[in-house]
Amino acid sequence: MNGAQALIRTLVDHGVDTCFTNPGTSEMHFVAALDDVPAMHGVLALFEGVATGAADGYARLTGRPAATLLHLGPGLGNGLANLHNARRAHSPVLNIVGDHAISHRPYDAQLQSDIATVARNVSTFVHSSESTAELSSDALAALGAAIGPPGSVATLIVPADVSWTDGGVAIPGTGAADLPSGTGGTAPDEGVLATAAAALRSGEPAAIMIGGRACTGKALDTMADIAAATGARLLAETFPARLERGAGRPQVERLGYLAEFATMQLEGIAHLVLVDARSPVSFFAYPGKPSDLVPDGCAVHRVAAAGDDLDAAVAGLAALTEVPEGVAPRQAAVVPEAPTGTLTSQTLSQALGALLPEGAIVSDEGNTAGIFAAGATAGAPPHDWLTLTGGAIGQGLPVALGAAVGAPGRRVVSLEADGSALYTMQAWWTMAREGLDVTTVLLNNHSYAVLNMELDRVGAETPGPRAREMLDLRRPTIDFVHLAKGLGLHAARAETAEEFTDELARALATPGPSVVEAIVPSLM
């Protein structure tokens, strides 16, 4: 057994059975070993940013890491933006980056570069495995780092000769049961819990901000109960990795992207209780505006951070506040009428709200054109909402792909803005190849609209035509129906609300992936 064969066996035996790949020569032994270990599902991507974003989406749905297979420093570089988003999502991801053979390194061949340096930008664990015999144990160390808590990106660099040399040692495991899925972690600080509980029971205006793992499952329910019982405002962080929402679930208001909105949401709060969420800061800085969004004089109580034992913290807070289960109001089932007339950001969101199926997973990179989508689907059947955690655009389609691989049988809706789609549209091809039930709603406003807004907000003096031109995608017009067809998908364009509703209904009812391009006016 060579190193690559032992590595794949070890991964599969420890619950990592999916690998998003974009390999090159230095990874050919890993590729060859896929035939030895059929339990490893290799999913080919045409671009590394697709592979890394898919691993993020997979982790958000399964709680388990997928592996990526990347080609040296440049391959890792291409995957970096979506690894940045995965890092911010605390998604466990295990990168396997091929390197030149150890014996080849002194020659500085064309593709050589400092892989570890690139990896450090996004990884909590970076290690080059220099011995075939130790490759599997190195992989388990990386896997442990990835799982956390907090979940994180771990990068294992595998020289080609470490892969191809005989003497690999597979380390037995018991499959997915070995993966603690981000549970456990640092025990809560009893003092902080007590202070937070007292603050919540004080009657002073308070808000609870949930993030990370607190946006799903029992933690979400309990925090909603605590908020309801204590009168605290329940907020979610601006860009949660995965928020469970819809009819029958707690109602959670997300903190606004725009600092102006977020400031209004937090105004007058005397206590802010953070539950696996970071203290709110402005996404960007703007001349003369504060970065820190916590109101002056507001006390911040961090009852659980990303690496902490969330379940214990939430249970502890519930006990100290003496809140019974099930007191939080639940979202009513409210489904909008199918829209008619002009296709706009509003009407397309209305159609989405009317049609979103139960159990859907929405990968939301709709940006400005998608801003009404969350509101219109609030009362839709229960579903998951995945957002742009790190702000590096080009996340939406790959995360949708990975979520679909991780959650077969559920419909994925990828709400995707035109500018963002163009970074990683290669994801469409893999959706077609794998026959995944992903419906992309491509919001085409022919613009980097968010930047038009930002150009005004940063206080740049009277933007001129050359500046505006840098944000305009109209010359030439981009045709996403052609692009999707080129990558092997069914695609259709909608220019009215009725057309959009019809096409979306058809796409959602059809197995496999397709794209509906919605032509909408820019809001900015």
> 35 or 495, CB closer to a copy of itself?
35
Which of 329, 341, 409, 476 contacts a copy of itself by CB under 8 A?
476
299 lies in the site for a copy of itself, by CB under 8 A: no
Q: Work out the burial of residue 108: count CB atoms within 10 Å of its CB; fewer than 13 is exposed, 13-18 middle, 19 or more buried.
A: exposed
Binding to a copy of itself in span 142-161, by CB under 8 A: 160-161
- Per the CB < 8 A criterion, the answer to whether 171 and 137 are in contact is yes
Binding to a copy of itself in span 87-126, by CB under 8 A: 88, 100-101, 103-104, 106-111, 113-114, 117-118, 120-122
The residue range among 22-30, 124-132, 314-322, 437-445 that interacts with a copy of itself, by the rule CB under 8 A, is: 22-30
- Per the CB < 8 A criterion, the answer to whether 196 and 287 are in contact is no
Beta bridge partners of 2: 166
Side-chain-side CA neighbours of 133 within 13 Å: the count stands at 0
The stretches of 438-496 forming alpha helices (DSSP H) are 449-457, 465-469, 480-486
Encoding tokens for residue 272?
Answer: 């802010």
465 lies in the site for a copy of itself, by CB under 8 A: yes
> 429 or 500, CB closer to a copy of itself?
429
> 118 or 516, CB closer to a copy of itself?
118
47 lies in the site for a copy of itself, by CB under 8 A: yes
510 lies in the site for a copy of itself, by CB under 8 A: no
Binding to a copy of itself in span 59-88, by CB under 8 A: 73-75, 77-81, 84-85, 88
Which of 1, 169, 176, 478 contacts a copy of itself by CB under 8 A?
478
Beta bridge partners of 386: 363
Q: How does strand 383-386 pair with strand 243-245?
A: antiparallel
What's the CA gap between 305 and 201, in Å, rounded?
Answer: 22
Binding to a copy of itself in span 309-368, by CB under 8 A: none
20 lies in the site for a copy of itself, by CB under 8 A: no
Which of 51, 142, 158, 432 contacts a copy of itself by CB under 8 A?
432
The residue range among 189-197, 275-283, 306-314, 374-382 that interacts with a copy of itself, by the rule CB under 8 A, is: 275-283
The residue range among 33-41, 193-201, 266-274, 305-313 that interacts with a copy of itself, by the rule CB under 8 A, is: 33-41
Which of 291, 340, 342, 510 contacts a copy of itself by CB under 8 A?
291
512 lies in the site for a copy of itself, by CB under 8 A: no
Which of 479, 498, 499, 502 contacts a copy of itself by CB under 8 A?
479
57 lies in the site for a copy of itself, by CB under 8 A: no
- Build a one-symbol-per-residue string for 489-508: x at contacts with a copy of itself by CB under 8 A, - elsewhere: x-------------------
- Per the CB < 8 A criterion, the answer to whether 352 and 413 are in contact is yes
Least separation in angstroms between CB 151 and a copy of itself:
17
What's the CA gap between 211 and 214, in Å, rounded?
Answer: 5
What's the CA gap between 76 and 9, in Å, rounded?
Answer: 23
What's the CA gap between 420 and 412, in Å, rounded?
Answer: 18
Q: How many residues does the chain have?
A: 524
- Per the CB < 8 A criterion, the answer to whether 376 and 353 are in contact is yes
What's the CA gap between 322 and 476, in Å, rounded?
Answer: 61
> 191 or 465, CB closer to a copy of itself?
465
Binding to a copy of itself in span 382-401, by CB under 8 A: 389-392, 394
Which of 426, 444, 445, 447 contacts a copy of itself by CB under 8 A?
426
Least separation in angstroms between CB 26 and a copy of itself:
6
Least separation in angstroms between CB 512 and a copy of itself:
11
Side-chain-side CA neighbours of 363 within 13 Å: the count stands at 34
What's the CA gap between 524 and 521, in Å, rounded?
Answer: 9
Beta bridge partners of 477: none
- Per the CB < 8 A criterion, the answer to whether 449 and 367 are in contact is yes
What's the CA gap between 448 and 429, in Å, rounded?
Answer: 24
Which of 191, 296, 466, 511 contacts a copy of itself by CB under 8 A?
466
> 34 or 376, CB closer to a copy of itself?
34
Other CB atoms within 10 Å distance of the CB of residue 209? 30
